[in-house]
A and B are shown apart, each in its own frame.
Chain A
């Protein structure tokens, strides 16, 4: 930048110091700086009332802040029974939402989340891997008495020992479960009965594919008939599974970054079907005025999942967290949660509290069968024997798919 010589300023052009400060003050006031500075000095966030951070005082005071890091919806902030409990007890929930399950793993290892968040969840497939990375803080079940009312399937037995009660330590308390099929707009199409229906020309440029590699892997495996619960697929089989998705991409409008975003795409009419699907998307879309989004399980099969609350490493304010988790298993809260997320509850007493439609959605009398036989829970292939595709391979392959 060339510099042009200038004459020295004339007195008329100079600012006096007073003017300078005055102008600065005007600007500061315009910004409303005062509360900001006060807040910075005081160190409080100044949001909802009755938010006192810190651990429990001797009087059994459990008020505090929950720093939640997981899927949108799992923080229960829209569940009336939970909202009123939080208000009564001075509990504030601050949430950061994720887009992929891996975000949780990364956050509490290389993502700088240790000590920052004190509540999270994990999808059961991650259990053994998390244990090896020492991510979950082992839970003291005596502080979550409501969990004892859960279906036995979630408390003990081979499934529990596989996913949640690993090597004698309770790493998470499962609180919800569901099946992942596909979502569709009932006003614009009939419910597809097969994933292969989506390849038809009528859906050209109207399909949304969610960026969820786990669900894609499971659903793809079901479609190709090679599904395994240990998720051990050779690279050739992995490519076979992905071939469905490559085929589907030709009909795809967009790759959707999150399930919440899928609701937006339905509402704005960009897509008519979305896969992998999540029933909660129906609620998200309904919340925006579009009540026609539905979820269905095509004939090839669905991905099953169980999600549970876990306490991340180096968490603080743990008393508040335990009280909150315990409240999450209160039958009323469970019933409302199940209805909102359109997923299954884990507390039997919650089922009669649900609406009739919600009760029929999931076969509560056959949970064990469903989750072990017809829509079995699957592992995530983190550590695999030679010759099989491991997690890195899957992620690479999926990224290549997205970029193609």
Chain B
């Protein structure tokens, strides 16, 4: 409910009204111009430039052929390498997002509805983990999952294993754990924020009406927090699918190349921006499709 507050009275003379109108328009323009300029100049225009380049053939390291071609897109879509990587990256992104939701939901519920005095502290801790450096949190998993790492050390000292477990690190599993660890705080915050919108009374009414926990969840809590869920899923999915850093450091022999790495390579190692651009736009297309699908889920929100 945002009431625009500027009104003009009909009894004001026409000349003054007109200049008030122009002044209003000018004010709106001045208020919005800088932000629009930033987004336009630093995102829209460069994106368009990139789009144009994606339809041009690279002759290697900066030389472009300036003929319209679809070859970048056809090789991005047809090449089995990209298809494997796309499946891997988007698949891992989806799994990460789902894991984050599964972990965040109960936590958010507990923090929102069961905690009273501890709530601010809990949220504060979540925000604190957000402030920790992404890279450092990533690297710390070497210490936890590695051959001489914490898990192996504990298991060994307990006598459960004699040889260190090697399947903990340098594979998709390690990448997944690191992703979940990094994006879980976002999910918790988003879902908690959505849950804040559910008045306590609604839950109590449901309980009074005889709904069990499951029913309360599916019929009341879930629909009301659907927007938060969708937001958390989308955010996590998109950022993990486009992440080239975590796979490179934790992926090992089988999972160190993600689709995002090929894009980075094209720009910074292969000197082939058009190819990188084409892959980027294909990725964007996938994201928008996912957005659209998630948008359909919004039909289920609300009471």
Contact = CB atoms under 8 A, between A and B. Distances in A.
Contacts of A4: 197
A72 interface: no
B129 interface: no
Nearest to A253: B170
B61 A106 contact: yes
B85 interface: yes
Interface string B243-286: 00000110111101100001001011111110000000000000
Nearest to B194: A1
Interface stretch (A26-34, A191-199, A393-401): A393-401
Nearest to B275: A392
Given A399-B257, A403-B84, A205 B166 contact: yes
Contacts of A105: 61, 269, 271
Interface in A15-33: none
Interface residues of B, number: 37
B142 interface: yes
A110 interface: yes
A249 B253 CA distance: 7
B241 to A, nearest CB: 16
Contact of B268 (A107, A133, A270): A107
Please report whether the interface of chain A is mostly helix, strand, loop or mixed according to DSSP: mixed
Nearest to A133: B61
Q: Which of A2, A106, A257, A395 has the most CB of B within 10 A?
A: A106
B81 interface: yes
A324 B101 CA distance: 55
A5 B1 contact: yes
Contacts of A395: 265, 269-270
Nearest to B61: A109
A72 B273 CA distance: 26
Contacts of B194: 1
Contacts of B197: 1-2, 4
Interface string A259-274: 0000000001110000
B114 to A, nearest CB: 21
Contacts, number: 90
A254 B197 CA distance: 47
Given A110-B61, A254-B252, A1 B227 contact: yes
A265 to B, nearest CB: 10
Contact of A106 (B85, B170, B270): B270
A291 B60 CA distance: 43
Given A133-B61, A269-B147, A399-B81, A110 B273 contact: yes
A254 B62 CA distance: 32
A403 B147 contact: no
Contacts of B1: 3, 5
A102 interface: yes
A399 B267 CA distance: 15
A255 B61 contact: no
A106 B252 CA distance: 25
Nearest to A1: B227
A253 B253 contact: yes
A110 B251 CA distance: 27
Interface string A352-395: 00000000000000000000000000000010000000001001
A399 B263 CA distance: 12
Interface in B191-208: 193-194, 197
Contact of B170 (A5, A254, A396): A254
A209 B253 contact: yes
Contacts of B269: 100, 102-103, 105-106, 395
Contacts of A252: 253
B252 A400 contact: no
Nearest to A251: B253
Given A4-B197, A111-B267, A253-B170, A403 B62 contact: no
Contact of A399 (B147, B193, B262, B273): B262
23 contacts: A2-B197, A3-B1, A109-B62, A110-B267, A110-B272, A111-B271, A205-B166, A209-B253, A253-B252, A253-B253, A254-B170, A254-B253, A257-B256, A268-B147, A269-B147, A270-B147, A270-B170, A382-B60, A395-B269, A399-B81, A400-B81, A402-B257, A403-B85
